[in-house]
């Protein structure tokens, strides 16, 4: 049985299961106020998800901007470079 989304003018979105053998119908009655609702075509679980979840997903797509002054701790590169010894086979000019 397919899952359809409808919009009530008073209560907003609601969902219903319909038999696939039933005739195609763009209208349904709201389970709360019994007004006629029209069928809406929405991307799955995007519009009906809570607002906080949508904002968190969108914020996760943006890169975080961090300034060097705000970083804590020491740099990872802590070893000291060894000075190379002079090469006796090379002649300096």
Q: List the pLDDT tens digit at each of the 93 positions of the chain.
A: 678 889 998 888 888 887 766 666 677 889 889 999 998 887 765 556 677 777 888 888 888 888 877 777 776 666 666 666 666 676 666
Alpha carbon distance 38, 26 (integer Å): 6
Q: Has residue 83 been placed in a domain? A: no
Q: Has residue 68 been placed in a domain? A: no
Range of the domain at 40: 3-61
Give the number of domains in the chain: 1
Q: Has residue 14 been placed in a domain? A: yes
4, 8, 9, 12 alpha-carbon torsion, rounded to 10°? -90
Q: Has residue 76 been placed in a domain? A: no
- What pLDDT shows up at residue 33? 92
Q: Has residue 89 been placed in a domain? A: no
Q: Has residue 51 been placed in a domain? A: yes
Verdict on whether the full-model pTM lies above 0.75: no
- What pLDDT shows up at residue 62? 80
């Amino acid at each position: 049985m397919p899952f359809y989304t409808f919009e009530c003018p008073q209560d907003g979105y609601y969902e219903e299961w319909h038999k696939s053998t039933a005739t195609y119908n763009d209208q349904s009655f709201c389970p709360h106020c019994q007004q006629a609702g029209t069928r809406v075509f929405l991307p799955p679980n995007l519009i009906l998800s809570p607002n906080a979840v949508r904002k968190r997903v969108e914020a996760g797509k943006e890169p975080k901007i961090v300034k060097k002054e705000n970083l804590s701790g020491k740099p990872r590169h802590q070893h000291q470079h060894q000075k190379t010894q002079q090469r006796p086979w090379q002649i300096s000019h």
